[in-house]
Amino acid sequence: MTWVGIIAVIVVLIGLGWWYFATQNTSANKINTNSNPNSTQQQTKSSQKTIASFNFQGLSTPATVAINDANYTILVTIPKNTDLKTLTPVITVSENATISPTSGTTQDFSKPVTYTVTAEDGSKQNYIVTVQPAAI
């Protein structure tokens, strides 16, 4: 074999070796990236921040509740002669959201009360709750 032939074989062997190790490294990286149990993947937090239901504890007659998600208002009609200053709301919000003031906290509803719903992602939405006694 001539020197040219030997050099050609060496070049081919180096090229094959480079190709082999390059493809092995890429495959290993793909496997490690996809199967690593310790890898942290960003999970999207919910942006839902609505009041699903609103009512009051201990009323002699159930309240009539109108939740307006377009204007973020709630109008509650309660039995006539109910004391507006000592009402305790029971509130349900979107999954993973919180509300302030909290459900079960007695409030003075003689004037509108603002509730803030905070979504899991930290975004907030205010709702204004107005309570009125029934006409009859």
pLDDT at residue 116 greater than cutoff 90: yes
Q: How far apart are CA 103 and CA 117, in angstroms?
A: 11
CATH code for position 71: 2.60.40.2340
Q: How far apart are CA 109 and CA 94, in angstroms?
A: 23
pLDDT tens profile 55-108? 999 998 889 999 999 999 999 999 999 999 999 999 999 999 999 999 999 999
Q: What is the pLDDT of residue 33?
A: 47
Q: Evaluate whether residue 46 is within a structural domain.
A: no
> Considering the entire predicted model, what is its pTM?
0.68
Query: 3-class DSSP state for residue 63?
Result: coil
Both 67 and 110 in one domain: the answer is yes
Q: Is residue 131 exposed (0-12), middle (13-18) or buried (19+ Cβ within 10 Å)? A: buried
How many structural domains does the chain have? 2
Both 31 and 56 in one domain: the answer is no
Q: Which residues of 87-106 are buried (b: 16+ CB within 10 A; e: fewer)?
A: bebebebbeebebeeebeee
Q: Evaluate whether residue 101 is within a structural domain.
A: yes
pLDDT tens profile 10-55? 765 676 565 566 666 554 455 444 555 555 567 899 999 999 999 9
Domain of 72?
Answer: 51-133
Q: Evaluate whether residue 99 is within a structural domain.
A: yes
